[in-house]
């Protein structure tokens, strides 16, 4: 399977703390994306990082990508209760480009 894996599977933190989750994948990619999913709802796109980029910021989000290690991390700073959700990384395949492979997700709980 080319599915990525997020680590940790679950994370519980206090409001105001930072949350870091990691994603590992298996194939060469064009880009990697992070999505958020609130319970039972659709996925919301957070950020895209291209294979030639190493770091990207968007508001309280910081994403890094290490293609040599086939891994990425998502950092959410100054977390809020509203950040409680599952977070998925998604990769495409550098050669086919069409299929999206989603990781297993990290369930984040931010305690007020």
User: By C-beta, is 18 or 38 nearer to other proteins?
Assistant: 38
**Number of residues counted as binding other proteins (CB under 8 A):** 28
Contacts of 42 (CB under 8 A, 6+ apart): none
CB of 59 to other proteins, least distance (A): 16
- Are 103 and 89 in contact by the 8 Å Cβ rule? The answer is yes
Rg, C-alpha atoms of the chain: 13
Give the CA distances from residue 40 to residues 74, 85, 98, 102, in Å, rounded to whole numbers and listed in that order. Answer: 22, 10, 25, 16
User: By C-beta, is 19 or 32 nearer to other proteins?
Assistant: 32
Site string for other proteins, 60-99 (x = CB under 8 A): ----------------------------x-x-xxx-xxxx
Interacting positions 1-60 with other proteins (CB under 8 A): 3, 30-31, 33, 35, 40-45, 48, 50
* Strands 19-24 vs 106-111: parallel, antiparallel or unpaired: unpaired
User: By C-beta, is 68 or 98 nearer to other proteins?
Assistant: 98
Give the residues across from 85 on adjacent strands: 108
Q: Which residues bind other proteins (CB under 8 A)?
A: 3, 30-31, 33, 35, 40-45, 48, 50, 88, 90, 92-94, 96-105
């Amino acid at each position: 399977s080319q599915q990525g894996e997020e680590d940790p599977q679950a994370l519980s933190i206090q409001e105001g703390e930072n949350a870091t989750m990691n994603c590992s994948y298996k194939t060469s990619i064009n880009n990697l994306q992070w999505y958020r999913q609130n319970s039972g709802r659709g996925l919301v796109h957070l950020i895209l990082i291209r294979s030639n980029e190493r770091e990207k910021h968007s508001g309280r989000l910081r994403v890094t990508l290490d293609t040599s290690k086939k891994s990425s991390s998502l950092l959410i700073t100054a977390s809020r209760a509203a950040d409680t959700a599952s977070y998925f990384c998604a990769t495409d395949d550098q050669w086919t480009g069409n299929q999206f492979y989603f990781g297993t997700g990290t369930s984040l709980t931010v305690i007020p």
